[in-house]
Amino acid sequence: MGEVFAKKTNSVCPSELNIEEFFLDLKGARTIPPAKIDPDRKPPAWLDFNLARRGQQFARNNLPSISISHMFGLASSPYTDGIDILLLSGNFSTPASATKRYTSTITEIITWYTDPFWESGSDGNITDIYKSLNRVRALHSALACAASKKISRGEILSDANEFFDYIPTAAWAAAKRDLNDSNIPPSQRGIAPSNEKICNAVPFNQQILALIQFAFIGFPILFPERLGISCPNEDDLSAFNHLWAILGYLVGIEDKYNIALRPNLKSAREVYRGIFERYAIPSLFHAEKDAIFVADVTFQGLQGITSISPNILMYWTLKDILQIQATNTYKALTFTEKIISAAKDHVMFDVLKNPISRKLSTFFLLNTLLVVGKENFGPQYAKRFDSIKKSFGFSKGYEYFGRVVFGLVWLYKIILAAFIFVYKAF
């Protein structure tokens, strides 16, 4: 497959639709396939390169918070058309395969935050972002093809009953009780249009693409402060939003359904709030057994990269993003998980406020990814990191300093584990 760029197949922009018209269209978009490939590979008329670069800079400056927001996004997306495809991909059979898959996904996304758009590299060759987006489109199209074949043979993509006996690692029952006991209004507890049973949904349709786009961009724009992005500048948020309008376009979202393509942040927030309340929250109330399986394996897979346990991730999603009490989920946390959670609430966000400690946290994050990446993909994985590290401005001296601090953090973890062991023993 050649270089693939989504075609602007519809001249109507979401900005031209009022909110109710937009949601009506989105509801019907499960039958609309991904946008076609544009053979000319021309950037869309609305693309603003300066804004895109500023959006990338913002993402790099806030990488730990942005990464957490992407995890929350994944945690709150049990949409039928997404789960079916994730199961079909076969990458979620074990936590180890999920770790591998997400290591790759995170690396691709970091490339999108570092590499120039529609510009060739200094050597005249196409840039990593071109290669990356080609790869993602090719992966998506191969899966869409496999799914269509299955559907045409009259088979169903996923049967929730097959996962009836699966016992999740995370305390899903406690989380469900917390959701039921919460003050979330009845209007947000029904079945979301993404989870209604219909027979003519197409793979990678415009609705699921837009919902996954929301999973990446929604929370930093709606709740930056809940993610440790302190005093966000509205222009930076706008730029980051624009970046995701471009990425959405490049993975095949028509302009009409490109939720990041709004005239201003106020109207983007209106759409994001709508998706949060009409799709994300209701779908959590109705997550079926197969969705719970995928989410549980995803959480375990992410633990292999971030060391954040499935229960903590679930607790934080309920408490910080949905802002509900989550008493039952909290009770399900182990002693260590409670300490980590308290450390996040009382220390981590303060750490992220300071530009130097934020940079150090970014260094840890990239370093951890590099270690996990090498474990999963071999030493050649490190090559991809050369340009990534350069974009983040990590010099050799910084690396040595970072490694010392990295070692100290591990020492601290060992001492903490020993302390907990002694505490529990006596």
**Residues near ligand HEM, by CB under 6 A:** 81-82, 85-86, 89, 91, 101, 104-105, 108-109, 136, 139-140, 143, 204, 208-209, 212-213, 216, 247-248, 251
Contact 206, 254 (CB under 8 A): yes
Residue number with CB closer to ligand HEM (135 or 344): 135
Residue number with CB closer to ligand HEM (230 or 391): 391
* Residue 37 phi, psi dihedral angles, 5° rounding: -75, 135
Whole-number minimum distance, CB 412 to ligand HEM, in Å? 33
Whole-number minimum distance, CB 159 to ligand HEM, in Å? 17
Residue number with CB closer to ligand HEM (249 or 392): 249
Tokens of 82: 């997404």
Whole-number minimum distance, CB 212 to ligand HEM, in Å? 4
Residue number with CB closer to ligand HEM (171 or 297): 297
The one-letter amino acid at 421: F
Tokens of 362: 């970014």
Whole-number minimum distance, CB 103 to ligand HEM, in Å? 8
Residue number with CB closer to ligand HEM (85 or 229): 85
Tokens of 142: 């191969």
Residue number with CB closer to ligand HEM (204 or 330): 204
Residue number with CB closer to ligand HEM (83 or 324): 83
Whole-number minimum distance, CB 314 to ligand HEM, in Å? 21
The one-letter amino acid at 220: P
Whole-number minimum distance, CB 292 to ligand HEM, in Å? 17
- CB proximity list for 345: less than 8 A, separation 6 or greater: none
Whole-number minimum distance, CB 389 to ligand HEM, in Å? 19
Tokens of 213: 């786009």
Tokens of 387: 């340009």
